[in-house]
Amino acid sequence: MEATLRGRRVGSWGDVGALSFYATKNITTGEGGMLVTSKAELAERVEVLRLHGISRDAWKRNGLAGYNTGKR
């Protein structure tokens, strides 16, 4: 937590930082991890990749409105 190296926070180098939350780490989520970035476009791309290429909008078709073909 709050780790630094040469005065910079861990995960702040480059475009993306990767953090592991494996069971042997100080903060655990089983086998989880986290990517951090300050670039909005990159963050949006990673969000799509984490869902295997499906955007959040694709999930809306399974909501209360369902898939609408225009026919009843």
Give pTM, 2 decimals.
0.57
In a domain, 69, yes or no: no
In a domain, 68, yes or no: no
In a domain, 54, yes or no: yes
Query: Residue 57's domain spans which residues?
Result: 4-62
pLDDT of residue 18: 87
CB atoms within 10 A of CB 53: 8
Number of domains within the chain:
1
Does residue 31 sit in helix, strand or coil?
strand
In a domain, 37, yes or no: yes
pLDDT of residue 15: 92
pLDDT of residue 67: 52
pLDDT of residue 42: 92
Q: Which residues are identified as catalytic?
A: 25
In this structure, are residues 9 and 17 in contact, taking their beta carbons and an 8 Å threshold? no
Look up residue 71 and give its amino acid: K
User: Which of 23, 62, 18 lies closest to 37 in space, CA to CA?
Assistant: 18
In a domain, 70, yes or no: no
Distance CA 1, CA 22 (A): 14
pLDDT of residue 66: 54
For 1-52, write each residue's pLDDT tens digit: 688 889 988 888 889 988 888 888 878 787 788 898 989 999 988 888 887 7
